[in-house]
Chain A
Amino acid sequence: MENLHSVYLEEAEDLFSRIEESLLLLEKSPDDASLIAEVFRSMHTLKGSSSMYGSNKVADFVHNLETIYDRVRGHEIDLTQDIIEATFKSLDHLKKIVQSPDIPDPIDAKYHEKLTADILGLLDEYSGGGSSIKQGSVSTKNTFFVSFVPDKNIFKNGTNPLLLIDELRDLGPSRVYTTIKKGLVSKKADPKECHTSWDIILVTEEDENPIQDVFIFVEDTSDISIEKIADVDLLSVSQFASKLPSSDLSSKSPTIKQIKKWVSEIPQEAFENIAEEATEVEEVTEDEKGEKLQRSHTQDEAITSIRVSSDKLDELMNQVSELVTTQAGLSLYAENNFDPVLNVIADNVEKLSRQLRDIAFEMTLIQISNLFRRFNRVTRDISTQLGKSVKFITEGGETELDKKIIDSLADPLMHLIRNSLDHGIESTEERIKLGKPEKGTIKLSSYYSGAKVYIQIEDDGRGIDAQKIREKAISNRLISKDDDLTEKEIYDLIFMPGFSMAKTVTDISGRGVGMDVVKKNILDIRGDITVESKIGKGTKIILGLPLTLSVIDGLLVKVEATSFVVPLVDIKKCFEIKREELSNDFNELITLEEEKIPYLDLRKEFLIKDENPPEKASIILLENEENKIAVCVDAIVGEYQAVLKPVGKYYRNQEFVSGATILGDGSIALVLDAYKIIARKIVKQKKSA
């Protein structure tokens, strides 16, 4: 059951964000038929899965919403701002109540009622003006009289007749009359026997067959009669309904004869009214047929992709990682044993595990658009709340990232976007005064570059005043007056704990907690964060993230006894040199291919105390967009697929280590983050300059 609930929640979540996305687009172009259809479809699916999960309250609620959109779809009513607003409210409410579909909280329950009434109100309001009367009256609704006298031993088969009645009632509106056999109070009555029978007046679009199907397991033993009494919805004919006795135990069930008599007494006009309504019904069912077609279509598509719980994927990834590690052990053993047969096997295993790794890895990637979609809504809400007019653009939603990274990005991104909305974008008046476009723009984009994925949050707001940050930092004693900082270094100050630029604390941001937490979150997934800003023009915050947290191709190198893995994608070239070439150079520059390049000796950098470094050394040339750095190591061992394992929070401050990996012999190699190493070198250069 727990599992079912989580599946349901997951699906609902998915549908909510789909509906929201379409709605936001609909606000801009309310006539887009495909969007309306999308909303309708998602609501329909939501209704379906809600009732399948058994939360009828949710299903009923969604049903009303769905009806509105069905009418919008049929051009009966226009999609107004009122409807959209009501839908947003309803979505918020639904998000809450799907968690506990019985709505245990009385406040929620009240709200539930209010919203339901609102929506029904909307429906009423619009249904009047629609062109509802159509020609050609073929009713599909029939009224049946069903009499069900169960065999008295029915309980012994384990059948609960009440469930059958319930099932029947699901077919359409109904009246149920219960008759208890007389004399039941006497002591002779066996409580293990059934002495009750039922008569049901049922209105349904179906024919007799589904009604018979309900009784399929009891039809041999029980008395069941199904008779069609009219081919319209009799229960909605007041002349008929008023004659029916109330359906409590005290009233006697009407007989089939009585009913037939009543039917014959109904004046013809009443039927005509019904017939008119029936055309409407007909239309709906036509649509529903289309819907069914579409649904079966999507079901066909669904077979090409399946929903798998992320736990299972994680487990798969773990197993694949173990396999890759074990394979490394096998390869090492084969290499040392000079057995040609073993070597061939080891090679094959290596090939296979590499392929398996790539497939498994791809499975854990998801598009970042899932995350971006969420912010659409938030931006809309917050900007309305702040009275600011903001255009929110997303780009590069198709960029794929490890699920774990995406999960841990939600909070920091949310914070950054809030900041942009709250502090970045000016109020509308201010913008007009400044000659900026009335609507502010926030752009959330992502793209690949090298081994990284970049996510940018860009706004065209007031920008960050570096001078003010400097002053604030000095007053907070984060820096001293004589510190000479570059612009970038100044912007980095906003990530210091306790640093908040907001002059007033608002509901949305500016409580002093914030950017430091954002930075911490980003560092935890081994990413980095930079700020670019121009006063009056806007701010750009760039997050650089690793593509994956799991497996990378790297170069295995040694420094003293420790093994390191450098990601292959960051490496430009490798050279072999004599160590003495480095030693006399106090500028720490090395000439490679007639170019002077700053170098970093890892022996020195990592404070390894050994007076006798090997004569030969290897240089690895690392390169990012801006810089080239040569890194000197003792020896290059070879290419290696590294299964990245976290070194844990305790080593959070050793940023240049992005993880560890287990080598074939069981020892651990540290995976270096080339970008962080380059950054270290640059900082050093500046300090010495």
Chain B
Amino acid sequence: MRSIEEENEHEEMESYLSFKLDDEIFAVDVKKVIEILEVPGITSIPLSPDYMAGVINLRGKVLPLIDTKVKFGLEPIEFTVETCIVVIEIEVEGEVLQIGTLVDAVLEVLEIPQSSIQPSPSIEAKYRLDFIRGMIRREEDFIMLLNLDEVFSIQDVMYMQEANESMSSEELTEK
């Protein structure tokens, strides 16, 4: 163990915050993470897309919440004691925004050398590839490193919404 650390000593270590969605582990760059919150009262906004979980009051600011699980095609999040909101900062349309992302549980902060990040396997297309920046091997598990600006970009949000709308209108016309 020691030898590995020594070996990595000269290399830049980067910190990542890992969290769980269902049984899978994801990680985000800590530089993007502002804070981690317990889940307060959420005000949902009517007629918004499913993955938009509503808004919360973050010390006087209105923070939009995203249900990361729905966004990733999983079942909507169920609130437990471990459920957390990870407040992250992303760049959207040239503006820096803060958003809250709902996750099943926050795990730990990992110190990882750049070199141990592997490119994401293109075969496993469970998640959209542009969402994943790379993989980190941690003992038996793989941790997926998220590309936050991509995952939560508004264009994407809008696109999905338009897709949903056009789908529903198509359904209507079919009927």
Write the nearest CB–CB distance from B159 to chain A, whole angstroms. 12
Known: A660-B55, A667-B57, A668-B57. Contact between A650 and B43, CB under 8 A? no
Complex: chain B residue closest to A524, CB-CB:
B93
Q: Which of B46, B57, B64, B158 is A648 in contact with, Cβ under 8 Å?
A: B64
Q: In the complex, which range does the number of interface residues on chain A fall in? A: 20 to 34
Write the nearest CB–CB distance from A655 to chain B, whole angstroms. 10
User: How long is the Cα–Cα vector from A676 to B119 in the complex, in angstroms?
Assistant: 47
Q: B14-30 toward A: CB 8 Å interface, digit per residue (1/0)?
A: 00000000000000000
**A650 contacts B99, C-beta separation under 8 Å:** yes
Chain A residues with Cβ under 8 A from B93's Cβ? 649
Chain B residues with Cβ under 8 A from A662's Cβ? 57, 60, 62
Write the nearest CB–CB distance from A271 to chain B, whole angstroms. 68
Known: A651-B48, A654-B48, A660-B55. Contact between A668 and B61, CB under 8 A? no
**A606 contacts B57, C-beta separation under 8 Å:** no
Answer whether residue B92 sits at the interface, using C-beta atoms and an 8 A cutoff: yes
Q: A15-49 toward B: CB 8 Å interface, digit per residue (1/0)?
A: 00000000000000000000000000000000000
Residues B153-175 near A (CB distance < 8 A) = 154, 157-158, 161
**A607 contacts B62, C-beta separation under 8 Å:** no
Complex: chain B residue closest to A605, CB-CB:
B46
User: How long is the Cα–Cα vector from A657 to B62 in the complex, in angstroms?
Assistant: 13
Write the nearest CB–CB distance from B56 to chain A, whole angstroms. 7
**A668 contacts B157, C-beta separation under 8 Å:** no
Chain A residues with Cβ under 8 A from B56's Cβ? 668
Complex: chain B residue closest to A659, CB-CB:
B62
- Name the residue among A605, A645, A653 with the largest chain B CB count within 10 angstroms: A653
Complex: chain B residue closest to A657, CB-CB:
B45
Answer whether residue B123 sits at the interface, using C-beta atoms and an 8 A cutoff: no
Residues B24-75 near A (CB distance < 8 A) = 40-41, 43-48, 52, 55-57, 60-64, 66
Complex: chain B residue closest to A668, CB-CB:
B43
User: How long is the Cα–Cα vector from A662 to B60 in the complex, in angstroms?
Assistant: 7
Chain A residues with Cβ under 8 A from B52's Cβ? 650-651
Answer whether residue A669 sits at the interface, using C-beta atoms and an 8 A cutoff: yes
Chain B residues with Cβ under 8 A from A666's Cβ? 40-41, 57
**B92 contacts A649, C-beta separation under 8 Å:** yes
Chain B residues with Cβ under 8 A from A563's Cβ? 43
Answer whether residue B107 sits at the interface, using C-beta atoms and an 8 A cutoff: no
**A651 contacts B158, C-beta separation under 8 Å:** no
Answer whether residue A322 sits at the interface, using C-beta atoms and an 8 A cutoff: yes
Write the nearest CB–CB distance from B61 to chain A, whole angstroms. 7
Known: A657-B45, A667-B57, A670-B45. Contact between A647 and B62, CB under 8 A? yes
Q: A581-624 toward B: CB 8 Å interface, digit per residue (1/0)?
A: 00000000000000000000000011110000000000000000
- Name the residue among B43, B56, B60 with the largest chain A CB count within 10 angstroms: B43
**B154 contacts A646, C-beta separation under 8 Å:** no
Answer whether residue A204 sits at the interface, using C-beta atoms and an 8 A cutoff: no
Complex: chain B residue closest to A321, CB-CB:
B60
- Name the residue among A605, A659, A667 with the largest chain B CB count within 10 angstroms: A667
Known: A667-B57, A668-B57. Contact between A650 and B154, CB under 8 A? yes
**A322 contacts B55, C-beta separation under 8 Å:** no
**A668 contacts B99, C-beta separation under 8 Å:** no
Complex: chain B residue closest to A665, CB-CB:
B41
Chain A residues with Cβ under 8 A from B13's Cβ? none
**B97 contacts A649, C-beta separation under 8 Å:** yes
Write the nearest CB–CB distance from B66 to chain A, whole angstroms. 7
User: How long is the Cα–Cα vector from A562 to B157 in the complex, in angstroms?
Assistant: 24
**A654 contacts B62, C-beta separation under 8 Å:** no
Residues B79-96 near A (CB distance < 8 A) = 92-93, 95
Chain B residues with Cβ under 8 A from A668's Cβ? 41, 43, 55-57, 62
The interface of chain B, by Cβ under 8 A from chain A, is 40-41, 43-48, 52, 55-57, 60-64, 66, 92-93, 95, 97, 99, 154, 157-158, 161
12 additional contacts, CB 8 Å, given A608-B46, A654-B45, A667-B41? A325-B60, A645-B62, A647-B45, A647-B64, A648-B97, A649-B92, A649-B95, A650-B157, A654-B46, A660-B43, A662-B60, A668-B41
Closest 4 CB pairs of A and B: A606-B46, A668-B43, A648-B64, A645-B62
10 A-B interface contacts by CB (under 8 A): A608-B46, A647-B55, A648-B64, A648-B97, A649-B154, A650-B52, A650-B64, A657-B45, A666-B57, A667-B41
